Amino acid sequence: MEIYPKILLSYKARSIKIGRLFYWFIYLITVSGLSACKEVYYPEVDSMDNVIIVDGIVTDQSDRNVIKLKYYQDHTEYPLSDATVYVTDDVDNVFLFVDNDSGKPGHYFPSETFAGLPGRIYTLHIETIDGEIYESEPQKLLPAAKIEDVHGQYSVREHIFKSYTGRHYRQEVPGIEVLVDLSTEEDDILRFRIEPTLLLLYIRDETEEEDEDEFDEDDEPIEAQIFYCWKKFRLNDEANLNIHTFGEGFSSVNDHVLSFLPFSKFLYNLERDEVIEKKIVIIRYYTLNSNSHRFYSEVYKQVVSENKIFAPVVSQLPTNIRNISNPKQPVAGFFEASSTRSETYVLFEIPEYSIIMFNRTWDLEHLPVSGEYLNEIPYFW
């Protein structure tokens, strides 16, 4: 009577053990089959070690010319100083750029007042202290485009908010879509990039309220504490981007979407006691040649790729810089020659009549990023 249960238990144990081995056998066959079908893809990416990075531009404005040099080592960027940097044009002029004590290592500015001329062709030259010589492809500086009109229309955009629980959600936000019309000289193809900035004017009233119950005619009047404040925001037509879509093939472009201005003051990080007075749009725009247009188009593709499997990487972006002394050595970055202009427009709106206008005003690009006046209305208010 005691043997039967032991035999039965032994049989069940063997059955369970065999069953487990069977399932492991099936699992191993399946995994082996999947492994045999899977081919690991390792993209070939150029190494960035010991590579210099060039970010240079010459324009037809004397305050908009700079060559920024860095080098990449051990996954870190460092400023490249003590190089000899100069720009030549197609009529044998030489313009020296120096790394002065501007507080920005690796930033080279013209040693003398310099502004490029439309129609001229410019080439960048770099010589490092270790004997490496770099040169850009010649870049033609085209005549500046022209803003024909700035206008707006009511619209909505999706905005990502964060709830009190930490979860993110999407919600449509009403506002004004800013549109711009541009043109260039006859027979020229209009290629451009734009850097829009919002200058927000607002008031903060910190005047202490007088208690009527304790009012005394002999009390001195309370001094007003009104702050006239401003701050700047970089505007984008894509979420967190400062690169615009690029169209080409026409001498004029109409209704180019410049930016979006939401109505809600809280999206500008204002407090409840702060009141918006004006919205001013500062438009810095550059007229590109075909080479620069291609570079910024590729940059745009990379930024909006959203980490897709075949998204381009930095080392695959086009460059117009080459190492003369060592042609096999890769170089990153770009040298641009573009005309540039800046215009400032103030928003005027009458909502009840659906009127939206942008009127040109003083150039306010030079204003600091933020500031305030106490009890004094600024001249640009």
**Of residues 7 and 381, more confidently modeled:** 381
Q: What is the pLDDT of residues 11-61, one digit of tens each?
A: 344 444 444 444 444 444 444 444 445 455 444 545 556 789 999 999 999
Model confidence at 116: pLDDT above 80? yes
DSSP 129: T
Looking only at the bridges linking them, the beta strands covering 332-337 and 146-162 are unpaired
Q: What is the pLDDT of residues 153-171, one digit of tens each?
A: 999 988 888 888 888 888 8
The average pLDDT across 89-95 equals 96
Stretch among 226-230, 237-241, 353-357 having the lowest mean pLDDT: 237-241
pLDDT score recorded for residue 299: 78
Does pTM surpass 0.75? Answer: yes
Bridge partners, residue 314, by sequence: none
Model confidence at 151: pLDDT above 70? yes
Highest mean pLDDT: which range of 190-199, 313-322, 339-348: 339-348
Q: Which residues contact 339 (CB under 8 A, 6 or more apart)?
A: 59, 60, 116, 118, 141, 142, 143, 144, 145, 286, 287
Q: How many CB atoms lie within 10 A of CB 12?
A: 10
The domain limits of the chain are 45-141+289-337, 146-209+222-287+340-374
> 26 with 34: CB under 8 angstroms?
no
pLDDT score recorded for residue 210: 58
